[in-house]
Structure 1
Amino acid sequence: MATQAQIEELFEKMAEERTALLAALEDIDEEQAEVQPPEGEGEEGWSVKEQLTHLAGMDRSYRQWVIRALAEDRPDTSDGNTPNVPLDVPQEEAHSADIPTLVAQMNAERAETLELARGIDAEQYERTAFVPAFGELT
């Protein structure tokens, strides 16, 4: 079972990483944020704006996986029963929004994720869900 110290460490790490990401974004202008690395494939070829929408979307997806894991024993999220609620600015439209809008969307999604995570009891952190792209997640 996860200890309270481990849970707090998780929240601290999430906050540190988000702070570092936001600091890195301070020096990026709108034009730079739309550059897609020509040598990149898949995620490595995404622009900064596309990455921001991806992070927002992953928070949203993760919450749905957690909700299922709390309600079911090891759900398989590929079964079509996991809601897929689109973002206000989805990845395909990332370049139509400015950086502050995308950061606000990303931060709002993270706030909801943190709210959900803070409401989970320590023993519930051991619950799992199967996500085809990642395997077994806790």
Structure 2
Amino acid sequence: MHRIWVGATINAVAVAVLGWGAAGAVELGCEPSQPNECGVPEGGHGYFAAVMISGLVLCGGFLWKAYTRDWRNVLGLTIGAPFGIVAALANGTSKGSVILSLGLFVAGTFFPWVAWRRHVGLRRRAEQNV
């Protein structure tokens, strides 16, 4: 039981950091390094690292989170998404910031709902088989 809430807390922090890093990356944009290539601009390495590390944290345990019988560990997305949305909109209301905010909103509402529905379906199936 304790590890479920620890996982939800880790997810919440990772989503908040992902929102902050992605908002900073959207604000800085892209620095052309070679023809048809995009590089990290000066001062953007912290944002890049935040996006990569939080992305690995979120995707690294995704299969475990998605196929577990308990849906509560996915609540970290719901808890962390508002912080990421605030970080994205604090940089301004550019098109990229609004799209990032909408993506975080959808992830924070859709994934926990799907996990909860799956949990309810598994519970009903188990009750019918008894």
TM-score, scaled relative to structure 2: 0.36
Higher strand fraction (1 or 2): 1
Say which one has the larger Rg.
Answer: 2
